[in-house]
Amino acid sequence: MRNQLVKCVMLIAAMAVFSGCQSGKSASGESNTTFAKDALTPYVQSGQLPGAINVFYKNGIQETACVGYADVAAKRPITMDDVYMQCSQTKGFCGVTIAMLVEEGKISLDDPVSKYLPEFKQLWVLASNKNGVKTLVKAKNTLTIRMVMNHTGGFPFEICAKQGNIKGGGWSGGAPLRQTAAIAAASPLLFEPGTRVQYSNTGIDIGAAVVEVVTGKPWNQFLQERVLDPLGMTSTSFWPTDKQLETQVEMYDCVKDAPARYRRQNNMQQRPYNDSHVFPSAGAGLWTTANDQLKFYKMLMNLGVGENGVRILKEQTVKDLLAKSTRPKGMGGYSLGLSAPETDTENSWFGHGGAWGTNCMVNWHRKELKLWAVQLCGQPRPWDKARAAAEQKFFRYVIDNSGANAYTGRVK
């Protein structure tokens, strides 16, 4: 009898891990499909994928899947309310705050950065670096807000103060935003502003420093008051509480044909995650949950309106500044802290990913969304193809069944 009870408990636990999860209070209806869960479960069973959250959404229908564990050793199932580092997805939050100021007429994307941060008045470009001797030339082009926000400003990925493996470096450590901007202004650019692309946390941090000057508030405070609080994103912060970190999605290294290996931390994001060494970075560093992340990206998908009915941005602002590229043609698609197409069409997606594998993309034309949350470093990621196939099945299923309810119960 005791053995049967133990087996029953183990079966229930296994079902909880692989059966998916609910998305909390949401205006969307659950699809009752299991495309993502079915695709991902074999990789969880093999140990290659410790745990993952996947959400597919189309026009009010949502498939939510939580498979595997937030902590494999503790056998703690992953949930929509577990906190995790979203890394570069933070950039889109800065993009929204910049778009707000443009919308309100307080800044223009083509304003010189030096209009708000005088240290950028004269910039130098690295012309050559031979035998340890650097040759610098004065920058000819004016650095604009547009350039720092779409990675064409010429800045390195991080300033020197935030590089390396020492405590205090990394995405949420190292320096306040204004100090980061000052260091960047005193350092040589990698190329003439506006002529090339270099993915850069530094540029986004400079954009956030502009927000601070214009609003007279710390960027994280402005973000809290104008975006996070109105959308009800109560679990999103640069300083997750000790209580929240008890449900942290732990980090793992991908291993080829073997179970993923636990990783205590990444050098760019070191423990403790919420002490005095942590400074907000707009380039990366914002902690969140899947439930909270959905609120932000559904706002973008709905052209500025949250699911709670609160308007964050005007419809045209999202269309013009966030959903399509702000770069010169031929330089790839990127808007303001968000990956976006050069030309916005019915098939266009915009959004962003993060270094540990998180990603969320939306299509405002078709009201579609796809969210993926993991905390994984490295390669390979063999489940990507299976997830892509599940995505196709879900969106095809919703299209094929879109009119089913309209005829249920009717007779001629």
The pLDDT of residue 16 is 46
Class at the top of the CATH hierarchy for domain 92-98+106-216:
alpha beta
Cβ atoms within 10 Å, residue 167: 14
Exposure string for 133-145, b = 16+ CB within 10 A, e = fewer: eeeeeebebbbbb
Q: Which of 313, 317, 310, 315 is nearest to 232 (CA)?
A: 310
Distance CA 387, CA 385 (A): 5
Which architecture characterizes domain 21-90+220-401 according to CATH? 3-Layer(aba) Sandwich (3.40)
d(CA 80, CA 391): 19
Alpha-carbon dihedral 157, 122, 213, 198, rounded to 10 degrees: -20
Furthest-apart CA pair in the chain: how many Å? 86
Percentages helix, strand, coil for the chain (3-state, rounded to 5) are 35, 20, 45
What is the structure's pLDDT at 171?
61
Q: Which helix (H) or strand (E) holds 263?
A: strand 261-263
The partner residues of 54 in beta bridges, in order of sequence, read 65, 372
Question: Could you check whether the bond before residue 272 is cis, i.e. omega within 30 degrees of 0?
Answer: yes
Cis amide bond preceding 380, omega within 30: yes
CA distance 198 to 395: 34
Q: What is the pLDDT of residue 30?
A: 86
pLDDT on residue 184? 97
Walk along the chain (412 residues) in steps of 10 and give the mean pLDDT of each run.
44 48 55 96 98 97 98 98 97 98 98 98 94 92 98 94 58 81 97 98 98 98 98 97 95 97 85 84 96 98 98 98 97 98 96 97 98 97 98 93 47 36
DSSP string across 87-129: GGGHHHHHHHHHHHHHHTTS--TTSBGGGT-GGGSS-EEEEEE
- Residues of the chain within CATH 3.40.710.10 domain(s) are 21-90+220-401, 92-98+106-216
pLDDT at residue 164, rounded to an integer: 54
Amino acid residing at 356: W
